Amino acid sequence: MRSKNRTRILLVTAISVTALLTLGFLVGGQEKKDFKLTKNLDIYISLFRELNAFYVDEIDPEKLVHRSINSMLSTLDPYTVFYPEEDTGDLDFMTTGKYGGFGSLIRKSGDYIVVTNVYKGFPADKSGIRPGDLMISIDGISLKGVTTDKASDMLKGEPGTEAEIVIRRNGEDIPKKLKRERIAISAVPYYGMVDENTGYIRFTNFTQNCIAEVREALIDLKDKQGAEDLILDLRSNPGGLVNEAVEIVNLFVKPGQEVVSTRGRAKQYDAVFRTNKSPVAPDMPVVVLINRGSASASEIVAGALQDLDRGVIVGERSFGKGLVQVARPLSYKAQVKMTTAKYYIPSGRCIQAVDFSHRNEDGSVGMIPDSLTRIFRTRNGRPVKDGGGIIPDVTVPSDMLNRFATELYVQNMIFDFATGYYWSHPQPSTPDSLNITDSDLEQFREFLTDRKFTYKTDSENIYDELARVAREEGLYDENREALEKLKSGLSHTLERELTLFRSDVTELIESELAGRYFYDWGMVQYSVSRDTQIKEAVNIAGNPARYASLLKAPAGS
C-alpha cells in the first residue's frame, strides 16, 4: 500500500510539473519544441501508470524512477549526476571535503571490511585503529558480507554521535568506542624542501577554502624555509571549485588577470574570473606537475599559468575535463549536479576533450589527431594546442611498475605484508630511514608462498594464446617439443621475480610502511626523492636559464 501511495504522489507531482511546463513553454512561443517535451512526459507518466496497475509483480516506484533518471542522464555526459536525498552527503563531501565520521578509508577484504587508511588526529586514529584492522561489527551489527558502500554509510553520521566498532587484529577481537566528528580532509597532505632552494607542495583537491592551506604552505616555504623556487604537484588532483582555482593562480599572478571564463547555453552561467588580490610569490619560478589524473580545476591552474607564461608545466597530458557543473535543487531534497558550461583559459583554449567518445581506460583524453586541434598563443607567443587537457611544456612519463610489482600491489600482497611488519617492528625515525633488508625480503617470499600468490606474465599469456591457436590449427602435436621448450623458457619463478625486481618491490613495501608509520605525509615524503617527474621538475626550477628558455616563444613562431 505504501508503495502505491508513493506512486500516486510521484504521478501527481509529475502531472503538475507537466502542466506548468506546458503553460510556461507555450507562453514562451516555442510550441513545437515544447509540444515534444510535454508529449513525451505524458507518455512516460502513462507508461508508469500502466506498469504500476498491471505489471505481474509489485514494483518499487522509487527504484524504477531513479533508474530511469540515471539512464536518461547517462546519454549526456559522465558528470551530470542525480543525487536522491540520501546521497546528497556525497555531493557535499565533493565540494567541501568534509563529512561526519571517524576519519578512515575502508575496502572489502574477504567476508569483512578492512581499514586501508587512517587520517591523523581524527577519531579512528585517536582510538588506535590502524590500517589492516578488520571491522567485524558496528553497534552490534555484523559486517560479514556487507558491501563497502553499506559499511561506509553505517560509519558516517552526525558529528557528536557515538558508535561501538569491533575490530579484529592479529586474530583478537577488540571493541572500540568512537565519537563521530566533522572530518575535513587536508588539501595539502605534505609540503617541504626538496633541496636547499626548491620548495614542494603536494596539492590533492580543490575543496572549499583549500586556498588557505596552499597559501600557508607557500608562505612557510618562501619566508621561513628559504625556498627560491617552487614545485606545485597537481598530479591526480581531480579538481573541484573554480573559485579556489582562481585563488591558487592569484598566489603567483598580479591582480586583474583573467584566469578562466565559462560559457554555456544559459547566459546566467557565463562568467569571467580574474585575480583580485596581491600575489604571495609574483616572481618565484614555478613548475607545475600534472598527469592523466589532473582534471578540471587542476587543469585551470596549470593551463592559466601556462597561458600567462607564469610557470613551466611538466609531466603528462592532463585529463581533459573542461565542463562546469552546478548543483541544482530538486523536489524532496534531491539534487542534480548538472553540466552548464565549458571552461576557457586565457589563450582562448577549451580544456574539454574535443573527441569525448575516445578516451583512455582511466577516462582521460586519448590521442587527438592534429586535424581536430587548433593552435593558440600564450602571452609570450608560445604555441599551445586545444583538443583536450593541458599538454606539458616538458613531457615526462610517469614511473611505471612492472607486471610483477603491479600484481603484488593489486592483489594486496604489499598491504597485507606491511600490516604484519608494522606490528612486529618499531617505528623508524623518519620515512627515509625505512630499510627493507634481505631478511625482510626472505620473509616476504615466505609470505607470498604461504598465500599461494600467483600471476601470469605477459609472455606466459601470449604463449597460452599461441598454444591455443596451434591446437586449433592442428600444429601443436608436431611442434610439441619446441612449444614445451618455449613454455619452460618463458615460465617465471617467485625467486627469479623477487631478484629481478627487487628494487621495485622494496620501494613498494617501504612506501606502504611510510604511510603506516607517518600517515599520508610520510608516504609523500618517501616518494619525493625517488620520483622521476619530481627530479625533472627540480632540474628545471633550479636552472634559471632553462626555466626562462621554456617560457620564451620559439624563433620564427
Q: Show which residues are catalytic.
A: 296, 307, 321
Cell of 209: 577554502
Cell of 420: 604484519
> What count of other Cβ atoms lies within 10 Å of the Cβ of residue 389?
28
Q: What is the DSSP letter of 432?
A: G
Give the residue among 158, 98, 159, 172 at the shortest CA–CA distance from 128. Answer: 172
Burial of 370 (0-12, 13-18, 19+ CB in 10 A): exposed
Cell of 492: 617465471
Question: Distance (Å, rounded) from C-alpha 376 to C-alpha 382?
Answer: 8
Question: Distance (Å, rounded) from C-alpha 266 to C-alpha 12?
Answer: 29
Nearest 5°: phi and psi at 380? -85, 0
Give the residue among 444, 418, 426, 443 at the shortest CA–CA distance from 510. Answer: 418
Give the residue among 312, 305, 315, 288 at the shortest CA–CA distance from 232. Answer: 288
Nearest 5°: phi and psi at 207? -85, 175
Give the residue among 385, 304, 311, 290 at the shortest CA–CA distance from 345. Answer: 304
Q: What is the DSSP letter of 121?
A: T
> What count of other Cβ atoms lies within 10 Å of the Cβ of residue 342?
16
Cβ contact 416:115 at 8 Å: no
Cell of 286: 614555478
> What count of other Cβ atoms lies within 10 Å of the Cβ of residue 189?
21
Question: Distance (Å, rounded) from C-alpha 337 to C-alpha 70?
Answer: 12
Cβ contact 138:163 at 8 Å: yes
Q: How, if at all, do strands 162-169 and 134-138 pair? A: antiparallel
